[in-house]
Amino acid sequence: MKRILVVDDDPSNILILKTVLHDEGYLISEASNGQEALNLHAAAPFDMIITDWMMPIMDGLLLTSTVRLRRLGNPVIILITSLTLEGAKERAIMCGADIYLPKPLIPNIIRRTVSDGFKRQGTGLVSVKMPQIDVLRTPVAYSAIGVVASTGGPAALVEFFKNITLDNKTTCFVVQHGPAWMIETFAKSLSILSQKEIILPANLESVTPGKIYLAPGDNHMTVDAGNMHIRLDDTPPENFVKPSADPLFSTLASAFGIKAIGVVLTGMGCDGVIGAVKIKAAGGMVIAQDPDEAVVPSMPLSVLDTQMGIKSYKIKDMNQQIKIRLNEVSQIT
């Protein structure tokens, strides 16, 4: 039976959550502040923590970041917030929550959010076979790096782009799981912190070498190999997320072939595995973040478990591996 810890200083909100989830087969405990919740979780880690943001003693952001920093299990963490405070979005995206549940609390949304969270948590090793990839016959003149991150991803991406060396012969495409409001805010933060221009592309925008494109929230981002345009697809979630890395990685394999590089960073679930295998099948390279370094190691572990010769590195060491690979393929025309 899945164990859920509900954290809120308002008894009425706890009552709503317990009432809605009562018949779903979960074992539910409660806490009135973050410190109480942290003590309970440290003693016997829960499968999921649903926490309000604004609470006395310890708020939901500090609770979430502390659980992630101390590596206290790998719970799904759902942060409840109205996001009305100044700077709220910037603080929320960096805390390490998996899912954001807006107020007011709506029963059907609560049930679906909790169910999808557990389904995503439960995904792990994906059975995949090396597929046949129809690669663009005329090799492009530049390379592509596709990067995916989820839980703990904002901080990991900031570090990645601070360390990465890009030129006008390499284009970068990024998928960070999260809602639209989070992605829009994160694009600005990432640009400032990494000192690199981050673009939220429009549908059918032409791919320009040397640019960094971040998938907008609530749309999958793919690359059309025929005309090198970016497509934003409002199709169903894949791996319980939208945007998902698998559609992006799959099209990078077709469009760039041996000049495609996939990078899988911290996150819950297994998004990016199928696309990573397609990049490998097309002759490209895939690397993963060292699971011991990742805030949540599920995504890196899933791609490493494919046994496709994928290696893991700490983020600070990835730039060197990518530079070596880009130099190897730079003469291919």
| Helix, strand and coil percent figures for the chain, each rounded to 5 | 40, 20, 40
Q: Which of 144, 86, 129, 172 is nearest to 273 (CA)?
A: 129
Q: Do 175 and 276 meet the contact criterion of CB atoms below 8 Å apart?
A: no
Q: Which two structure tokens, joined as six digits, stand for 116?
A: 């999808």
Instruction: Work out the end-to-end distance of the chain between its first and last CA atoms, rounded to an integer number of angstroms.
Output: 56
* Catalytic residue (one of 65, 143, 150, 302): 150
Q: Which of 277, 312, 289, 325 is nearest to 170 (CA)?
A: 325
Amino acid at 198: I
94 contact partners, CB below 8 Å, separation of at least 6? 65, 154, 155
In the numeric block, the tokens 């040397």 are attached to 210
Give the C-alpha separation, 205 to 65, whole Å. 36
Query: Is 59 known to be catalytic?
Result: no
Give every CB contact of residue 65 below 8 A, 6+ residues apart in sequence. 94, 95, 96
Alpha helices in the chain (DSSP H): 11-21, 34-43, 60-69, 88-94, 107-122, 153-163, 180-194, 245-256, 273-281, 298-304, 315-329
Q: Is residue 290 flagged as an active site residue?
A: no
Residue 220 bears catalytic tag: no
Choosing from 8, 59, 271, 290, the catalytic residue is 271
The residues, any chain, with a CB within 8 Å of residue 43's CB and separated by 6 or more, are: none
- Peptide bond just before 56 cis, omega within 30 deg: no
User: Which residues on adjacent β-strands are paired with residue 5?
Assistant: 29, 49
What does the CA dihedral 28, 30, 34, 38 come to, rounded to 10 degrees? -60
From the list 59, 143, 177, 244, the catalytic residue is 177
Catalytic positions, written as ranges: 150, 177, 271
